Every structure is written in structure tokens, then in C-alpha cells.
């Protein structure tokens, strides 16, 4: 369970992590901002704006994970901690509505990010979540679909829950 200022973040996977196993929590909100294209633009322009916005957010999240990992190694130079996989709304049983809580905690409005009641982030090319540092990553829930305690409604957003065709080709996007 993750609580801040009396407000608890809902994520069913957290129940699988033993008390005291987490050393640090790195929470974040990132956005590509508005990826501007209009309905009057050629379809390729609209597609490129959408694709570049998605790519930016994906790469920014990976860069943050690398920075968080480096920070954790500085805090624990003996190499006793490792960075978990990404936890965020739509993954590991965390409802999409938790975007509201994460964005409030992190004051996402200061970078122009807002959330709707259903958890939709605006601008659309935005992402929130967190990484944990632990001494033993086996204390985190497995990344396999079989071990997921998430809600099946989140499978559409999960890289592991996509179509079997994508799984067969190794495509994760």
C-alpha cells in the first residue's frame, strides 16, 4: 500500500510486495504536450504527430527509468538495490483512475497535465507511474500475464496483454 497525505494509491499488485521490501519510490508524470495537427492536415501529418508524441513519451519514460536506476545506485553504491518494472495506471491492477491521484501528488498541473474523472490524461501524450527500488526483485509481482492480479480491462493498455499476433512476432507496441 502506498499512502501520501492520507490518500492511498490503489494497485492490487502492491499486496504481493512484502512490507519493508521497498527502499525508494520514484514517481513521475511526463508529457509530450499537445502534438498539434488538425483534421484538415493530411492523414500522414496527423499520423506522424501521433507517432512522434507516443515515441517521445515512451523514450522519456525509459530515460527516467535509467536516471532513477543511476540515482538508486548512488544512494546504494554497494549495489544492493535494483529498479522494478514500471507500475502505473493500467498495469498490475492499478485502475486508470489512479492517474488523478498520481497527478495530484506530483502537481502535474505545473507542467500542463490534467486528468479527467475517468483517469484520461490531457494532453493525451502523457504518462504517470512509479518505479520502486528493492534489494530483491523477486519480491515484485512477475511480469507474466498468468501471474497478473490486474483487472482484465487493463489488458488493452498492457504490453503483455496485446494480441497473440504481436506476441508471436515479438512486437511489444
Nearest alpha-carbon partner for 35 in 52, 58, 10: 52
H/E segment holding residue 63? helix 43-75
Q: For residue 127, which of 156, 167, 157, 92 has the smallest C-alpha distance?
A: 157
pLDDT higher for 6 or 167? 6
The structure's pTM equals 0.79
CB 103 within 8 A of CB 114: yes
Q: What is the mean pLDDT of the chain?
A: 83
CA dihedral of 23, 161, 100, 60, whole degrees rounded to 10:
70
Instruction: Give residue-wise pLDDT tens across range 47-94.
Output: 898 899 999 999 999 999 999 999 999 999 888 899 998 899 988 878
Amino acid at each position: 500500500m502506498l499512502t501520501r497525505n492520507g490518500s492511498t494509491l490503489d494497485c492490487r499488485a502492491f499486496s504481493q510486495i512484502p512490507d519493508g521490501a521497498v527502499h525508494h519510490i520514484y514517481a513521475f508524470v511526463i508529457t509530450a504536450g499537445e502534438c498539434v495537427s488538425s483534421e484538415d492536415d493530411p492523414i500522414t501529418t496527423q499520423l506522424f504527430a501521433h507517432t512522434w508524441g507516443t515515441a517521445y513519451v515512451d523514450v522519456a519514460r525509459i530515460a527516467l527509468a535509467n536516471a532513477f536506476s543511476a540515482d538508486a545506485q548512488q544512494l546504494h553504491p554497494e549495489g544492493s538495490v535494483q529498479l522494478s518494472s514500471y507500475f502505473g495506471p493500467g498495469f498490475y491492477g492499478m485502475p486508470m483512475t489512479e492517474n488523478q491521484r498520481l497527478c495530484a501528488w506530483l502537481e502535474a498541473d505545473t507542467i500542463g497535465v490534467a486528468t479527467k474523472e475517468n483517469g484520461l490524461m490531457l494532453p493525451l501524450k502523457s504518462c504517470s507511474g512509479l518505479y520502486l527500488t528493492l534489494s530483491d526483485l523477486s519480491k515484485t509481482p512477475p511480469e507474466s500475464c498468468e501471474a497478473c492480479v490486474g483487472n482484465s480491462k487493463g489488458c488493452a493498455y498492457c504490453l503483455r496483454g496485446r494480441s497473440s499476433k504481436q506476441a508471436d512476432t515479438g512486437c511489444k507496441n
